[in-house]
Chains A and B, each alone.
Chain A
Amino acid sequence: MSPRTLFEKVWNAHVVAAETADTPAVLYIDLHLLHEVTSPQAFDVLRERGLRLRRPDRTLATLDHSTPTLPRGTDGQRPYATPAARAQVEQLEANCREFGVTLHGWDSPHRGIVHVIGPELGATQPGMTIVCGDSHTSTHGAFGALAFGIGTTEVGHVLATQCLLQRKPKTLAIQVDGTLAPGVGAKDLILHIIGAIGVDGGTGHVIEYRGSTIEGLSMEERMTICNMSIEAGARAGMIAPDDTTFTWLQGRPQAPQGSDWDAAVARWRALRSDPGARYDRELHFDASQVQPTVTYGTHPGMALALGASLPAPRNAQEQRAASYMRYQPGQSMLGTVVDVVFIGSCTNARLPDLREAARVLRGRHVADGVRMLVVPGSEAVRRDAEAERLHEVFLAAGAEWREPGCSMCIAMNGDLAQPGQLVVSTSNRNYEGRQGKGARTVLASPATAAACAVAGAIADPRTYLAMEASA
C-alpha cells in the first residue's frame, strides 16, 4: 500500500460509501457534539419528518454559547441576557430529553465549552471523526481525530443518519521545528502561522501540524493550535497522537479502560503519516523565530510580533481595518491603551492557560480603568483552578472570576465590550463587532493578555515573566 497521511488513514476508515464523480463520499461520524445555538432547527427536521436520532450514544450535548457566566441571582434565576437566550437553552434541554441525548447541562459537573469538555471527558479520541455545528470543532484534531465544523442542515443529517456527504479535502502539512523562546507559546505560534499564510491559506485543506516543535507541545497547547485552523480557512487541523496524547487521555471517564485501553493505544500508535506520504502542499516554520504575537486588524491573519511596526494599508479593506482599529502604520501595538481583557474561550481557557495568566498577575493588580474577565472553559477547569487557588490570584488582582462558557469570545450571552473599547482577548476572532458592536479586539496569548491588564496598555509578557523569574 502506498504511504498514507494521518488524514487519509482516518478518512479511509470512515468511508461508508466511496465518492464517485457524481456523488460525495458517505462519511461515518463517531462523535456528534451539540450546543444550543446551532441545533434547534436540526431537531425540528427530525420531528417534521418523523425520524429518530440514529445514535444517541454517539451524541453529546452541552450548554455554552447563550449561557450567562454570572451566578444565579438572589431570586434563584440565571441572569440570561434575553428571554430568547433562555428559550434557546430550554429548547436544547427539551430536545435532549425527547431524543435521549446526554446533556451536560446546568446541573452537570462536566458542563463547559463543547471543545473543552469533549477532550476532558475522554469522549474525544484518536482516529475518530468528530463534528459539531461549530467551526472550532477543529480543536479535537489535537488528538489525531478528524474533526470539523458543520452547518445546521448537516447537524440534521448526522442526527438522522450518523453520516455526512463529503468530498475528500486536500492536505496541507505545516512542519514546525525549533524551540519556542521563553514567554512565547502555542497561541503566538498559531497567530504567527495564520499571519504568514493568511485567513484563506488553508481553504479546502485539512492541515497536519508536525515537526519537533509540535511534538514537544502539551495537549492543551496542541488544542490551541488546532482550534485556530479554521482561522486560516482550513476546516480541520490534526496532530498525530503520541505518548503525550495517551498519557493525557488515560483514565478519563469515556476513555477505554483496562485491556481495552491497551488495545486502543496499540491501534492509535499507527495513526501517523507514513514516511514518504504525500501532501497537496507543505510549509515549514522555524519556531525559534516566533515572538509574542498579537493581531492588529480585523481578521486573525492581520497578526504581527508585538514590537513589529504595523504595515500601511494596501487596499480599501485594510484601510477600513486601520480606521476601525485606530492603528497607526509605522508604529507597533505596544502601548496601545486597553479597556478590557478577556481570558477564556475554546482557544485558551484550560488550566495551563489560567496558570499562565496567573503567573503574570500574581502579586500585581489590573490597571485602573481596565475591566478583566477570567472565564474558565468548563466546570472541571473551574474546580481545578480553584483547587490551586488561581481564582484568588485573579480576584486579588481585581479581575472577575466567572462561571464557564463561551462568554465574550462570541458575546451573545451578555458578556460584551462597549463600542470603541479595545479588548485584549485570548479568543480566536477579532472581526468587527465580534465582542460587541464597535468593540475592537486584539487577539493574544494568556500571558500577553494578563500583561496588558496589568499595564493598562498592550505590553510584552516577557517583562513580567522575567521579573517573576528574578524575584
Chain B
Amino acid sequence: MKPITILRSRTAVLADANVDTDRIIPARFLTTTVRGGLGRHCFQDWRYLPDGSDNPTFPLNQPAARGCAILVAGHNFGCGSSREHAPWALLDYGIQAVLSSEIADIFRNNALKNGLLAIVVGEAEHHWLLDHPGVELGIDVRRQAIDLPDGSQIRFELEPFARHCLLEGVDQLGFLLQGAKGIDRYERERAA
C-alpha cells in the first residue's frame, strides 16, 4: 500500500442513507478472480439506464462530480455484505475517500486496508458537507483533520493502527507475520 498523508479534492455527494455494498457493486460482478477492473461496474444499476447510457439523475454522473476523489455519503454507507469488491470498485472508479456520519464496520475495515480513507465525521459537519457538494477539501491523515477552504477544519477519529498503516504504507500481513513466534507460542500453550 502506498503511504497517504494528505488527499486534496473537490467532493461529490451521494446523500442517500444506507447505501449497501450491493448498490456499490452488484453481486453479478463478483465472479471475478482478480481485484482490478471493477470501477466500470461501480454503482452499475444506479449509474446507467437500461439502454446502457448514463443515468442523468445519478449524482456522480453530474458534470461537477466528475473527477472528484472524495465522496460525501449518506449515513451508514457500505452496509451489507463483506465483499471487498466494494472498496476495490470505488478506488478503481476514482474515489479515494468516503466521508459519512456512519460507515458500516466491515466496509470501513476493508476500505482502510486498501488505502480508501473511510472517515466518520460528526453529524453537524456531515450535514454541512452534504449541503456543499463540490467544496475543495484537504484530508490530512497525520493531523486527523479535514481542511476547508475558509481555513476552518473538521477533526476526525481514526483508529491509531489504521492511521499508522496509512501514513507509513505498512503492510498489515507483514506486521502479523512478524509476530509469528507469538502465534507459535499460543498454539503450543493451547495444545498443552
Q: A157 vs B174: C-alpha distance in the bound complex, in angstroms?
A: 9
- State whether the Cβ of A124 lies closer than 8 Å to any Cβ in chain B: no
B9 at the interface (CB under 8 A from A): no
- Assuming the contacts A299-B79, A410-B27, asked whether A160 and B177 have C-beta atoms less than 8 A apart, the reply is yes
A316 touches B15 (CB 8 A): yes
Task: Kindly list chain B residues whose C-beta atoms are within 8 Å of the C-beta of A84.
Answer: 31-32
Instruction: Give the shortest distance, in Å, between A241 (CB) and chain B (any CB).
Output: 19
Q: How far is the CA of A149 from the CA of B81 in the complex (A)?
A: 8
Determine the chain A residues whose CB is within 8 A of the CB of B26 once the complex forms. 433, 437
B76 contacts A203, CB within 8 Å?
Answer: yes
Given contacts A150-B106, A434-B27, contact A316 B113 (CB under 8 A): no
Does residue B160 face the partner (Cβ distance < 8 Å to A)? Answer: yes
CB pair A233–B183 under 8 Å, yes or no, is no
Contact of B30 among A17, A37, A320 (CB under 8 A): A37
* A157–B176 touching, CB < 8 Å: yes
> C-beta contact mask, A132-145 vs B, less than 8 Å → 1, else 0?
01110000000000
Q: How many angstroms between the C-alpha atoms of A114 and B175 in the bound complex?
A: 29
Q: Give the complex CA separation of A91 and B33 in angstroms.
A: 8
B-chain residues with CB within 8 Å of residue A163 when the two chains form the complex: 176, 179, 183
Quick check: is B35 within 8 A (CB to CB) of the other chain?
yes
By the criterion of a CB under 8 Å from any partner CB, how many residues of chain A are at the interface?
66
Q: Are A23 and B22 in contact (CB under 8 A)?
A: no
Q: Which residues from 155 to 171 on chain A have a C-beta closer than 8 Å to any C-beta of chain B?
A: 156-157, 160-163, 165, 167
Contact call A411/B28, Cβ cutoff below 8 A: yes
Provide the residues of chain B in CB contact with A54, threshold 8 Å.
Answer: 183
**In residues 64-86 of chain B, which contact A (Cβ within 8 Å)?**
74-76, 79-84
Q: Does A66 touch B at the CB level, under 8 Å?
A: yes
Q: Would you call B173 an interface residue if the criterion is a C-beta within 8 Å of the partner chain's C-beta atoms?
A: yes
Choose one: A40, A44, A135, A204; the contact of B82 (CB below 8 Å): A135
Judge whether A151 is part of the interface by a CB distance below 8 angstroms.
yes
Contact A151 B27 (CB under 8 A): no
CB contact list, B1-37 vs A, under 8 A: 15-18, 20, 22-23, 26-28, 30-35
Cβ of B56 under 8 Å from chain A: no
State whether the Cβ of B128 lies closer than 8 Å to any Cβ in chain A: no
Interface centre among A44, A45, A153, A437 (most CB of B within 10 A): A153
Task: Annotate B73-103 by CB proximity to A: 1 below 8 A, 0 otherwise.
Answer: 0111001111110010000000000000010
CA distance A23 to B35 in the complex (A): 27
State whether the Cβ of A463 lies closer than 8 Å to any Cβ in chain B: no
Alpha-carbon distance between A28 and B182 when the two chains are bound, in angstroms: 11
- Please pick, from A160, A161, A167, A316, the residue contacting B16 in the complex, using a CB distance under 8 A: A316
For the complex formed, measure the closest distance between the CB of B168 and the CB atoms of chain A, giving whole angstroms. 12
Hey, which chain A residues are within 8 Å of B102, CB to CB? 200, 203
Closest chain A residue to B76, Cβ basis: A200
Contact A432 B105 (CB under 8 A): no
Q: Would you give the shortest CB distance from B79 to chain A, in whole angstroms?
A: 6
Known: A16-B183, A203-B102, A299-B18. A432 touches B23 (CB 8 A): yes
B141 CB → nearest A CB, Å = 15
Task: Closest B residue to A40 by CB, please name it.
Answer: B33
Beyond A17-B182, A203-B104, A431-B80, list 17 extra A-B contacts (CB 8 Å): A22-B160, A66-B31, A88-B31, A134-B81, A150-B82, A150-B106, A151-B82, A153-B113, A154-B110, A200-B102, A233-B76, A233-B104, A299-B79, A412-B28, A412-B31, A419-B50, A437-B26
B residues within 8 Å of A by Cβ? 15-18, 20, 22-23, 26-28, 30-35, 45, 50, 74-76, 79-84, 87, 102, 104-106, 109-110, 113-114, 159-161, 164, 172-173, 175-177, 179-180, 182-183, 186-187
- In the A-B complex, the 6 residue pairs with the smallest Cβ-Cβ separation, listed nearest first, are A151-B110, A151-B84, A149-B82, A40-B33, A84-B31, A412-B27
Q: A residues touching B (Cβ–Cβ < 8 Å)? A: 16-17, 21-24, 26, 28, 37-38, 40-41, 44-45, 49, 51, 54, 65-66, 82, 84-85, 87-88, 91, 133-135, 149-154, 156-157, 160-163, 165, 167, 199-200, 203-204, 230, 233, 235, 299, 301, 315-317, 320, 410-412, 419, 429, 431-434, 437-438
> Can you sample 21 A-B contacts with CB below 8 Å?
A16-B186, A17-B179, A37-B30, A41-B33, A51-B177, A65-B30, A88-B33, A91-B33, A149-B81, A152-B110, A154-B109, A161-B179, A165-B172, A203-B102, A230-B80, A320-B16, A410-B27, A412-B28, A429-B20, A431-B20, A431-B23
